[in-house]
């Protein structure tokens, strides 16, 4: 019932005490007011660039997914056994990313490592998305005391720094790739819950939701037909963003030694192992790190693209 | 009840919640640290001895009593004893805290400077290609793993260029790279929020009105836009504190600095839950206090919020 | 005397996605000292673009592609940015449209007014305070010393607009550009602001370029009027002449579509059949906001009484109007009748049901018979739904018209009734214009064959020509189906055309009630007289 009576605040169009009405002219081009300036002039290359970068981001993600699903297609070498004679070779045509102290091909190890990062990112986002969105949607659509309570729980989750929270979960679950992923997912529950709640609350207050009740809609049908579809695009954008964040966090845990055990070619672990040859073999740390940066950058770009499309569709 | 009192009260509630969560995660659920440590057959302890040790750590009393014991202890400043070394947690944390606070504080200041510089340059740049370039920097910074950035910086400045010594650097020299490592990823979201806020404020009708009085762009930015854009940036700065603490832990590991990060790593490897719990609670307390301060400072920046405070 | 502003053959273009688009074509006019020239037009007419070009504040992508702009004899068409900064504030000032958002919220009033002095280093710091108080006094603000220390949110809308005028005239610019200076203000406040501009013109010889969508207002206050449509000048002449003997068809249509108090009423008054129960009966209705709940009680908040002891009746088949300015409680009253708002006390009977005591099932049943149309057609339609789906939804909610196909057929009928072309039925709201969207909202309301339709400022966001079309549609529907209308409006000239009975609300109280013709012919209350006197366009001579 609360869903329906949400808009019981004085309507700003009528009841503002200071004698202001909402502006009269609604210009389809949004240029009614002299004061509406701001946007920058789009030069031709500025219009192409965003599309190019989105295309590139999707291409990167597709490539990394392919690495994870069928690493054998991208490299003929073995990620676990090396050729000792070739140890610590710098990047070359035979070894694109060079080799490590036991002569293993670094590019091969990065390709095989994709599955740990991707799987970990997916599990983490899954945990955060499912738990967080459920909490947020329940809080936002039921409201009242339950809303208050759930949001205080979210405040508590937010107050503990992400890394420390995931370490606390890891100490409970134990080390390992999946456990690290779950631990990272727990830290994103709060973000998903907050966003989905605020979106549900925002959409609930729109006139079209009231209009849906006005034309005889029932609580559930309005929630499913209007509130959720209009709330969840923002959540989708956050999921893409959190995927990038999760890949970062998982590699951090791997680097600290709380993720996959050696000799797993997990990306964070690769960088950690390369540290002992920092002075001589720069590629061991630099190249896997660059791969992480590119993947995270792509996930963030895709997230930005989803948000832009959403704003354009309003 | 005033606004201030209700904000303080809800902050205390969050803090109690964080304490409870840390207790539940680290002490109440199975994974008994004492057992793991002392049931190791190599130590050759008898069952009676283990029971005695358990009792001395208060592990045998009921869960609620244990919670109460931990809570009242924490309120009195007693954070228990390390399972690994037996030393009081308060002493361990006290020794490590100063160095980490220094690193985090400098890192934060550097991040604010970096973000401000970036937002300023991007907003005032006369060339659109430069503005675009500057605007895309934060999304790059945000995608960089902290630990990797530290390693790359060491590689570049210490091994390639030889500007900063890795072996026994001076106290200031030793701080440069860690502070930079920490600042870059923190500055990115800060710069993004600041840029977005500046864009939003610049689209406000009042900015066009000031422009119509003959103001130049730098005048507008400094005297009108910045103050209005500072509030969202300040709010996000408070939230980023969590990232800052996590980043400090990682940075300490990369640069092998002594501090909370080292303490955390050691505690984790030794399953030393009292130490870890204390670190979590202290971090949460810092977070809650800083964000409370941000909330209470907001009316200074925005007079529209003052009415609420006085009510 | 030479012209303050002379615009010759001005063309402005915007760089868009699909290349450059010219939005004004060869616009020419001049403003002499002490003269008010009005640029009149509907949305997309280029009136704002022209005004923006004159002060060099075109949005990014916009630029002058032809013609000349001269300020006091100086050709500024291609003046440098530095020269423009010198001119703005000194030679030409801007009075913006939305006073609510046009003052820096973090600055004190006095600092905003003094800003022009500071920017141009035009006065020594020690005299600034005195100059600011002089200016605030000049624009009719009481107790200027105290107001100068306040922040914008502490002032009313009308007072903010006075402050903005004070800031614009600080350096005594010869020319003021007033961009819809009153369209966000209540009608009585609007009149006082326009009177202030009139004083400035008379006493200081300031030339004013007035941008407005309201032809009647322009004719009341301007010496000369330019009517623009799609970037071209349709009509240019002295106001009286444009009003009395318009040359272009478009101006004639604008005059016909925008009713004033001088416009004759063609609609025959509707009366209810004898002995029938009224459609709506409101008795002693009061609504309160805030002051409830634990937090509010702890803060000792007083509840705000938005509606205070309001009573009225609407006979079946007639139109009743609730009129009033912002804060009058008219929308709140309508929302109680639509069962979207609870009340503190009183009784509300709608179509024989007591709305205030309905359970949710009965309330839902009542909604089949009572429908609401909102002010903003951009907000009241789900952006993800197609038009046809939006109109079919109410039928599906009540399980009417048998099958899904039957419901669709009915929805198509409703859309045809509101004259929405079939090719638009599968589009989404954002692909439609404001007027088309409002037709969709009306179709969604009438598809259920309701008995009472509540129209909450349903046409006030629309251009006058579009508004006229919607009003005709509503009138036809009422005649065909014997609908009862409750109209919420701030526009008395429109109310006079469409309502049978009127309740005037002020600060939640019913000030005056009577038949429409009687109210306008012989208003009893001072407030009603003031409201009617504030309507622009009463000088038909």
Which residue in B4, B210, B297, B308 has the most chain C C-beta atoms within 10 A of its own C-beta, making it the best mutation to test that interface? B210
Residue C301: predicted pLDDT: 67
pTM across the whole model:
0.83
pLDDT digits (tens, 9 = 90+) for C315-339: 999 999 999 988 889 999 999 999 9
Instruction: Give the number of domains in chain A.
Output: 1
Q: Which residues of A touch B29 (CB under 8 A)?
A: 172
For the structural domain made of C280-533, what CATH number should be given? 3.40.50.300
Q: Complex ipTM above 0.90?
A: no
Does the residue A149 lie in any domain?
A: yes
Residue A194: predicted pLDDT: 92
Instruction: State how far the alpha carbon of C59 is from the alpha carbons of A30, B216, C63, C82, in Å.
Output: 11, 16, 9, 18
Residue B131: predicted pLDDT: 85
Residue B58: predicted pLDDT: 54
Specify the range with the lowest mean pLDDT, choosing from A88-92, A204-208, B118-122, C378-382: A88-92
Share of chain B above pLDDT 70, in %: 87
| Alpha carbon A268 to chain centroid, angstroms | 18
C175, C31 Cβ separation under 8 angstroms: yes
Does the residue A66 lie in any domain?
A: no
Does the residue A101 lie in any domain?
A: no
A127, A165 Cβ separation under 8 angstroms: no
pLDDT digits (tens, 9 = 90+) for A261-305: 888 888 888 888 888 887 788 888 889 899 999 999 999 889 888
pLDDT digits (tens, 9 = 90+) for B243-266: 888 898 899 988 888 899 889 888
**Beta bridge pairs of residue C313:** C281
Contact B228 C89 (CB under 8 A): no
The first and second tokens of residue A71, run together, are 């690493």
Which residue in A156, A241, A284, A297 has the most chain B C-beta atoms within 10 A of its own C-beta, making it the best mutation to test that interface? A156
User: Closest Cα of chain A to C274: distance in Å?
Assistant: 31
Give the C-alpha separation, C507 to C488, whole Å. 15
Going by pLDDT thresholds of 50, 70 and 90, the confidence category of residue C498 is very high
Give the C-alpha separation, A165 to A184, whole Å. 8
**Beta bridge pairs of residue C235:** C227
Q: Which of A230, A216, A208 is nearest to A137 (CA)?
A: A230
pLDDT digits (tens, 9 = 90+) for C385-431: 999 999 999 999 998 877 888 899 999 999 999 989 999 999 998 88
Q: Are strands C353-354 and C5-16 parallel, antiparallel or unpaired?
A: unpaired
Going by pLDDT thresholds of 50, 70 and 90, the confidence category of residue C243 is confident
Domain spans, chain C: 1-91+173-258, 99-172, 280-533
Contact A33 C381 (CB under 8 A): no
Residue A35: predicted pLDDT: 40
Give the C-alpha separation, C477 to C412, whole Å. 16
Which residue in A216, A217, A222, A312 has the most chain C C-beta atoms within 10 A of its own C-beta, making it the best mutation to test that interface? A216
User: Closest Cα of chain C to A174: distance in Å?
Assistant: 44
Side by side, which strands form the sheet with C19-31?
Answer: C19-31, C5-16, C62-71, C74-75
Among chain C residues, CA nearest to B202: C104
Do the domains C280-533 and C1-91+173-258 match in fold? yes
- In A40-99, the residues whose Cβ lies within 8 Å of chain B are 40-41, 43, 46, 49
A275, B151 Cβ separation under 8 angstroms: yes
C355, C361 Cβ separation under 8 angstroms: no
pLDDT of residue B170 exceeding 90:
no
A34, C346 Cβ separation under 8 angstroms: no
pLDDT digits (tens, 9 = 90+) for B281-305: 999 999 999 989 988 888 888 888 7
Range of the domain at A296: 115-313
Nearest CB partner across the interface for C103, out of B206, B214, B301: B206
Average pLDDT over residues A152-158: 91
Give the C-alpha separation, C56 to C86, whole Å. 12
Return the percent helix, strand and coil in chain C, to nearest 5.
40, 25, 35
Which residue in A1, A2, A33 has the most chain C C-beta atoms within 10 A of its own C-beta, making it the best mutation to test that interface? A33
pLDDT of residue B77 exceeding 80:
no
For the structural domain made of B93-310, what CATH number should be given? 1.10.3720.10
Residue B121's CB: how many other CB atoms inside 10 A? 15
Contact B206 C105 (CB under 8 A): yes
Residue A97: predicted pLDDT: 85
pLDDT of residue A33 exceeding 50:
no
Domain spans, chain B: 93-310
Instruction: Show which residues on chain C lie within 8 Å of chain B, measured between beta carbons.
Output: 55, 57, 85-90, 92-94, 96-98, 101-107, 115-116, 119-120, 151, 153, 164, 167-168, 170, 177, 295, 298-299, 301
Contact B250 A163 (CB under 8 A): yes
Among chain C residues, CA nearest to A206: C379
Nearest CB partner across the interface for C380, out of A17, A207, A221: A207
Contact C93 B227 (CB under 8 A): no
Nearest CB partner across the interface for A171, out of B31, B140, B155: B31
- Is any Cβ of chain A less than 8 angstroms from the Cβ of C205? no
Q: Which residues of B touch C116 (CB under 8 A)?
A: 213-214
Q: What is the DSSP letter of C264?
A: P
Q: Which residue has the tokens 């260029």?
A: B161
Torsional sign, CA C397, C400, C404, C410: negative
CATH number of A306's domain:
1.10.3720.10
Instruction: State how far the alpha carbon of A28 is from the alpha carbons of A25, C42, C59, C429, in Å.
Output: 9, 11, 16, 12
Q: Which residues of A touch B203 (CB under 8 A)?
A: 36-39
Q: Which residue has the tokens 């306040």?
A: C150
Q: Are strands C19-31 and C501-506 parallel, antiparallel or unpaired?
A: unpaired
pLDDT of residue B148 exceeding 60:
yes
More confident residue, C301 or A35: C301
Q: Which of A151, A154, A115 is nearest to A250 (CA)?
A: A115
CATH domain C1-91+173-258 topology: Rossmann fold (3.40.50)
Give the C-alpha separation, A269 to A259, whole Å. 8
The first and second tokens of residue C408, run together, are 């669709």
């Amino acid at each position: 019932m609360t869903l329906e009576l949400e808009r019981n605040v004085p309507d700003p169009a009528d009841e503002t005490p200071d004698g202001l009405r909402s502006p009269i002219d609604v210009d389809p081009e949004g240029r009614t007011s002299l004061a509406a300036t701001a946007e920058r002039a789009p030069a031709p290359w500025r219009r192409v660039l965003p599309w190019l970068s989105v295309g590139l981001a999707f291409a990167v993600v597709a490539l990394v997914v392919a690495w994870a699903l069928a690493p054998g297609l991208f490299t003929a070498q073995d990620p676990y056994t090396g050729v000792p004679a070739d140890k610590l070779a710098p990047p070359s045509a035979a070894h694109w990313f060079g080799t490590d102290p036991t002569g293993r091909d670094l590019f091969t190890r990065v390709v095989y490592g994709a599955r740990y990062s991707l799987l970990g990112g997916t599990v983490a986002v899954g945990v955060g998305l499912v738990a967080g969105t459920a909490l947020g949607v329940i809080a936002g659509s039921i409201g009242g005391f339950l809303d208050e309570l759930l949001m205080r729980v979210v405040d508590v989750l937010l107050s503990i720094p992400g890394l420390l929270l995931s370490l606390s979960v890891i100490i409970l679950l134990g080390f390992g790739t999946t456990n690290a992923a779950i631990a990272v997912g727990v830290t994103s529950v709060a973000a998903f819950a907050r966003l989905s709640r605020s979106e549900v609350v925002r959409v609930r207050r729109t006139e079209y939701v009231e209009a849906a009740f006005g034309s005889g809609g029932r609580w559930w049908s309005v929630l499913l037909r209007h509130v959720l579809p209009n709330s969840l695009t923002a959540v989708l954008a956050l999921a893409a963003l959190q995927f990038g964040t999760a890949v970062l966090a998982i590699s951090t845990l791997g680097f600290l030694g709380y993720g996959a055990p050696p000799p797993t070619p997990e990306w964070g672990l690769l960088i950690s192992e390369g540290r002992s040859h920092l002075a001589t073999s720069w590629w061991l740390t630099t190249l896997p790190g660059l791969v992480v940066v590119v993947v995270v950058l792509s996930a963030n770009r895709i997230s930005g693209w989803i948000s832009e499309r959403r704003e354009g569709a309003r | 009840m005033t606004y201030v009192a209700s904000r303080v009260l809800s902050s205390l509630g969050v803090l109690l919640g964080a304490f409870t969560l840390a207790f539940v995660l680290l002490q109440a659920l199975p994974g008994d640290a004492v057992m793991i440590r002392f049931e190791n057959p190599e130590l050759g302890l008898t069952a009676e001895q283990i029971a005695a040790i358990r009792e001395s750590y208060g592990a045998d009393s009921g869960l609620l009593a244990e919670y109460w014991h931990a809570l009242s202890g924490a309120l009195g400043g007693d954070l228990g004893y390390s399972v690994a070394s037996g030393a009081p947690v308060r002493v361990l944390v006290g020794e490590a805290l100063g160095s980490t606070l220094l690193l985090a504080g400098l890192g934060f200041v550097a991040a604010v400077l970096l973000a401000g510089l970036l937002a300023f340059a991007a907003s005032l740049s006369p060339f659109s290609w430069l503005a675009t370039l500057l605007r895309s920097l934060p999304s790059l910074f945000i995608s960089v793993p902290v630990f990797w950035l530290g390693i790359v910086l060491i590689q570049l400045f210490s091994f390639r260029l030889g500007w900063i010594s890795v072996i026994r650097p001076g106290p200031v020299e030793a701080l440069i790279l860690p502070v930079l490592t920490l600042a870059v990823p923190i500055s990115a979201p800060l710069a993004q929020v600041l840029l977005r806020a500046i864009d939003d404020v610049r689209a406000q009708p009042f900015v066009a009105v000031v422009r119509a009085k003959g103001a130049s762009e730098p005048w507008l930015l400094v005297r009108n836009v910045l103050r209005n854009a500072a509030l969202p940036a300040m709010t996000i700065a408070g939230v980023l504190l969590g990232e800052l603490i996590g980043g400090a832990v990682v940075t300490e590991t990369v640069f092998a600095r002594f501090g909370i990060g080292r303490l955390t790593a050691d505690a984790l490897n030794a399953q030393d839950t009292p130490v870890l719990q204390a670190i979590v609670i202290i971090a949460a307390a810092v977070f809650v206090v800083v964000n409370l301060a941000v909330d209470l400072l907001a009316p200074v920046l925005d007079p529209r919020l003052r009415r609420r405070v006085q009510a | 005397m030479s012209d303050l502003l002379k615009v010759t053959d001005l063309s402005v273009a915007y760089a868009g996605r699909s290349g450059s688009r010219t939005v004004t074509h060869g616009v020419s006019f001049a403003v002499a000292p002490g003269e008010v020239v009005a640029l009149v037009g509907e949305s997309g007419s280029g009136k704002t673009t022209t005004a923006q070009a004159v002060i060099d504040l075109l949005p990014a992508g916009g630029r002058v592609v032809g013609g000349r702009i001269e300020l006091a004899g100086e050709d500024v068409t291609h003046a440098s940015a530095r020269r423009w900064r010198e001119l703005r504030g000194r030679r030409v000032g801007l009075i913006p449209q939305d006073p609510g958002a046009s003052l820096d919220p973090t600055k004190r009033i006095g600092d905003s007014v003094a800003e022009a002095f500071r920017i141009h280093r035009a006065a020594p710091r020690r005299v600034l305070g005195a100059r600011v108080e002089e200016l605030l006094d000049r624009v009719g603000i009481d107790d200027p010393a105290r107001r100068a220390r306040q922040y914008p949110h502490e002032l009313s809308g009308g007072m903010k607009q006075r402050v903005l005028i004070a800031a614009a005239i600080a350096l005594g610019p010869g020319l003021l550009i007033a961009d819809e200076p009153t369209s966000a203000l209540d009608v009585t406040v609007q009149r006082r602001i326009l009177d202030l501009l009139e004083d400035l013109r008379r006493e200081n010889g300031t030339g004013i370029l007035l941008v407005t969508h309201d032809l009647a207002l322009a004719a009341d206050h301007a010496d000369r009027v330019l009517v623009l449509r799609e970037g071209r000048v349709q009509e240019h002449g002295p106001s009286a002449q444009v009003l009395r003997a318009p040359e272009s068809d478009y101006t004639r249509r604008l005059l016909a579509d925008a009713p004033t108090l001088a416009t004759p009423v063609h609609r025959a008054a509707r009366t209810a059949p004898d002995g029938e129960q009224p459609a709506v009966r409101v008795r002693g209705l009061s609504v309160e906001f805030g002051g409830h709940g634990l937090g509010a009680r702890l803060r000792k908040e007083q509840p705000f009484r938005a509606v205070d002891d309001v009573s009225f009746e609407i006979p079946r088949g007639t139109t009743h109007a609730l009129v009033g300015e912002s804060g009058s409680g008219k929308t709140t009253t309508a929302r109680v009748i639509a069962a979207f708002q609870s009340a503190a006390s009183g009784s509300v009977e709608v179509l024989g049901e007591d709305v205030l005591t309905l359970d949710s099932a009965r309330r839902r049943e009542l909604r089949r018979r009572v429908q609401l149309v909102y002010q903003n057609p951009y907000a009241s339609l789900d952006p993800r739904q197609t038009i046809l789906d939006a109109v079919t939804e109410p039928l599906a909610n009540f399980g009417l018209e048998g099958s899904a196909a039957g419901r669709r057929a009915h929805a198509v009928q409703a859309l045809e009734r509101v004259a929405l072309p079939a090719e638009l039925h599968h589009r989404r709201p954002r692909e439609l214009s404001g007027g088309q969207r409002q037709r969709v909202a009306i179709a969604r309301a009438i598809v259920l064959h309701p008995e009472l339709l509540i129209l909450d400022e349903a046409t006030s966001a629309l251009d006058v020509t579009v508004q006229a079309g919607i009003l005709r549609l509503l009138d036809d529907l009422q005649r065909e189906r014997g609908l009862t209308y409750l109209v919420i409006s701030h526009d008395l000239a429109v109310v006079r055309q469409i309502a049978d009975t009127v309740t005037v609300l002020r600060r939640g109280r019913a000030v005056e009630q009577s038949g429409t013709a009687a109210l306008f012919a012989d208003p009893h209350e001072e407030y009603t007289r003031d409201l009617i006197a504030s309507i622009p366009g009463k000088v038909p001579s």
